[in-house]
Amino acid sequence: MPFPELTNFLSQPYSTRFYDRNGRLLQVKALEDGLRREWYDLESLPPTIPQVFIAAEDERFYRHGGIDFFAMIRAAMQNISQGRRVSGGSTISMQVARIIIPRDKGKKVTLWTKIVEAWNALRIEAKLSKDEILELYLNNLPFGMQAEGIGSAARTYYGLTPQQLSFSQIHALAVVPRRPATYNPLQDPTASYEAAMVIGKITDFVATPEEWIKAVAVENPYIYPMELPHFISYVENQYKKQEKKLPSQLILSVDEVLTEKAGNFVDTLLEQNQDARLTHGAVFAMDNKTGEIICWYGGNFQEEDGGQIDGVLVKNQSGSTMKPFIFAQALESGFVPSSIMPDVPMDFGSQEVYVPLNFNNQYNGPVPMRVALASSLNIPAVYLLYRLGVDNYLEKLFELGFDSLEGERYRMGLSLALGSGEVTLLELTRAFSVFANNGFLIDTTFISKNSIVKEETTVIEKKQIYEEDTAAIICDFLSDKRARSLGFGFAEVFNTEYPAIFKTGTSNQFQNIIALGSTTGYTIGVWMGNFSGDTVIRETGSSIPAQVVRQLLDFLSSEKPATASSFPSPKNYGKVSVCTLSGMLPGKSCPSVTKEFVSVISATNLPSCHWHYNLNGKTETRYPQEYQRWLSGRNNQGSLFDFSELEILYPTDGAVFVYDATIPLEAQKIRVDATGSGETASLYVDDHFFGSSCQPFVWYVPLRPGPMNLKVYLDSSEKSKSVDILVR
């Protein structure tokens, strides 16, 4: 016959035991109203537990079909002789029936009640084996103290697992379900002595009252651990998303000791830097080869102000930490490692002009690609994104797992190069691991690869995002101390004794500071800032969070030196001498050379440097036209290549500028840059002559609200160029 109550009961939830990768208990998840009900398979319990509980409740359990008439008659006779109820005669199967369908509280137990329970016991016996019934009984028996089942009882009363219980403690727990308030060993260990000795006559257990108290008394109640709350909440949510039921226990990939170290590092630095308005921090670390999440510190969970917000999953602007992805895509889109990046004043766009600045408001002119990335220069990154296209770059970011950027294209332009898009630390760190992982992106997993929960082991998938040589070149760039020195000097925090790459970043409004670091084995990401969105004072991404990354990488590399081996060299590239300034094969006039990766296929086709030439025994330098504004804006020696075509370099046609009525008119001017063959040129504003200029052609035009037409004439010819701008 159908037994829906039993079916529903068999699918009820149990408290999950969460362990870290080394077997440390992190949490035993409470159910509704704080109840804990752990599940232990019968075969995993020591045989003494079922032996004692059968002796205590149903000595003939394996010899009856659910109803023990002999026990019922014996109980009735005992009750009559004593003049009170001293025994109930219920079998374990009948007790399971009563657990499945509880009695109505406050109602008198009648003969009919007993008959219904006996009938349900027969139904249970018909559907389940004896071992299955006993297993249900031991895992659901109420023990008081918000504990159900022998597993939760052992932990609640003694802080032990069932396997760790002594013979005396098992006897003490066997009588608790009869009268939890009376036989509670936390309150009065002497109360259960006589009842336990009755059981002992069957189990051959004997103890004096003194021995009993010493064996079962508890000095301090057990406190359930609440370790890694943010991470375990993440794990639970992953099961909910997949509509899967949590198992009775999970061996997680996280290392509790490592995470505790990470939290201590972060909290110490936050306390030391309170004057910088740093109040929150988070750490995420993963194994590059297996995808295992080994560290997840979402912040101080106990903190009143935002403690329960998980910093690993909060979306923040990522700053310059996104730049490696742009440079990697550029290497696969026509640029080469010896390419020279223009770090000069530039504007991008037409209708909405974007004018990026470096973090120190300085310009370095032409810089090698490796220096531009390692020193985290802004303008070269924006220049590359402008050449690659925002949409193409976003597609690559989606491949890298930046799901947070979905639907954000409409509000993001070239500022995406500087990390204006909001992403999580989890997404950012996982994506950064692609470089140390030979260009492969691996799925993260929160299950330990050594998990004993066989049904939870998963196949980790990985996909190739960048070519192996691209990843190797980016690793070489980011681990180059000399290339990094332009932007960061020779900062000690990056000076490791083992091969490592680092990338730091600061959001546009200094609300977040981030650091990423990788060895061949591990990748770590650290975020610091404020959940409130307050700005960080006087700090950049290279300072504080980088210290945490370094400390954790030091620890991991010392524990497992093999995980900090050398990064592989690109297979299809070799380092050759190139001109430091132009990136071309050095000529006789080149003042300095450096080594850079060049494709073995194109090495013989690399052009010779034509930026340097000898004039009257002195080396002179000629720059492409895009360096004109940089040359004219500083005391720098050099000239431009001759150009026959007239071009207005700045502003671009259709550009929009903002006029601020609160600022004096004479202080609001726009710089006009042009290039072309000829000694002089003239500028007309709205067909009115503004002025003439010698090479390089530069004018400063006051702004006024409304449309403006700017036209440049070469005085030596009739050639002209014009642009239209709008001043709002």
Q: Find the mean pLDDT for residues 154-170.
A: 97
Q: Is the pLDDT of residue 350 over 50?
A: no
Count Cβ atoms within 10 A of the Cβ of residue 206 and give its class: 0-12 exposed, 13-18 middle, 19 or more buried. Answer: exposed
* pLDDT: which is higher, 155 or 675: 155
- The CA distance from 234 to 442, in Å, is 19
Mention every residue, 6+ apart, whose C-beta is less than 8 A from residue 570.
Answer: 468, 469, 472, 473, 476, 597
Q: Which residue has the tokens 């050759």?
A: 576
Using DSSP's 3-state secondary structure scheme, residue 122 falls into helix
Q: Is the pLDDT of residue 80 over 80?
A: no
CB 299 within 8 A of CB 308: no
Q: Find the mean pLDDT for residues 373-382.
A: 92
Q: Is the pLDDT of residue 351 over 50?
A: no
Q: Within 10 A of 480 (CB to CB), how many other CB atoms are there?
A: 16
Q: Is the pLDDT of residue 244 over 50?
A: yes
Q: Enter the tokens of residue 386.
A: 């402008």
Q: Within 10 A of 578 (CB to CB), how many other CB atoms are there?
A: 24
Sort residue 473 into left (φ over 0), alpha (ψ -120 to 50) or beta.
Answer: alpha
- The CA distance from 213 to 207, in Å, is 9
Segments in 128-192 forming alpha helices (H):
130-140, 149-158, 167-175
Residues 503-560 have pLDDT tens digits of 998 876 667 889 999 999 999 999 998 887 777 765 555 678 999 999 999 999 999 9
Q: Find the mean pLDDT for residues 641-647.
A: 69
Sheet bearing 680-685, strands edge to edge: 656-657, 720-727, 706-714, 680-685, 688-694
Using DSSP's 3-state secondary structure scheme, residue 162 falls into helix
- The closest alpha carbon to 552, from 374, 314, 295, 310, belongs to 295
- The closest alpha carbon to 26, from 266, 169, 231, belongs to 231
Residues 570-624 have pLDDT tens digits of 999 999 999 999 999 999 999 999 999 999 887 777 888 989 988 888 888 888 8
The pLDDT of residue 51: 97
Residues 408-421 have pLDDT tens digits of 766 677 888 888 88
Q: Angle between the 468-478 and 425-436 helix axes, to the nearest 10 degrees?
A: 100
CB 713 within 8 A of CB 719: yes
- The closest alpha carbon to 546, from 528, 573, 520, 569, belongs to 528
Q: What is the DSSP letter of 25?
A: E
Mention every residue, 6+ apart, whose C-beta is less than 8 A from residue 408.
Answer: 421, 422
Residues 116-140 have pLDDT tens digits of 989 999 999 999 999 999 999 999 9
The pLDDT of residue 136: 97
CB 659 within 8 A of CB 728: yes
The pLDDT of residue 214: 94
CB 165 within 8 A of CB 158: yes
* pLDDT: which is higher, 719 or 666: 719
Of 91-95, 180-184, 384-388, 440-444, which gets the smallest average pLDDT? 384-388
Q: Is the pLDDT of residue 307 over 80?
A: no
- The closest alpha carbon to 601, from 577, 572, 575, 579, belongs to 572
Q: Is the pLDDT of residue 642 over 70?
A: no
82 band by pLDDT with thresholds 50, 70 and 90: low
CB 609 within 8 A of CB 642: no
The pLDDT of residue 216: 94
- The closest alpha carbon to 580, from 622, 612, 544, 625, belongs to 612
* DSSP element (H, E) containing 237: helix 229-241
Q: Find the mean pLDDT for residues 191-213.
A: 95
Q: Find the mean pLDDT for residues 62-74.
A: 78
Q: Enter the tokens of residue 501.
A: 């790459």
CB 594 within 8 A of CB 368: yes
Helices and strands (H and E) in the chain: how many: 21, 29
- The CA distance from 133 to 124, in Å, is 8
190 band by pLDDT with thresholds 50, 70 and 90: very high
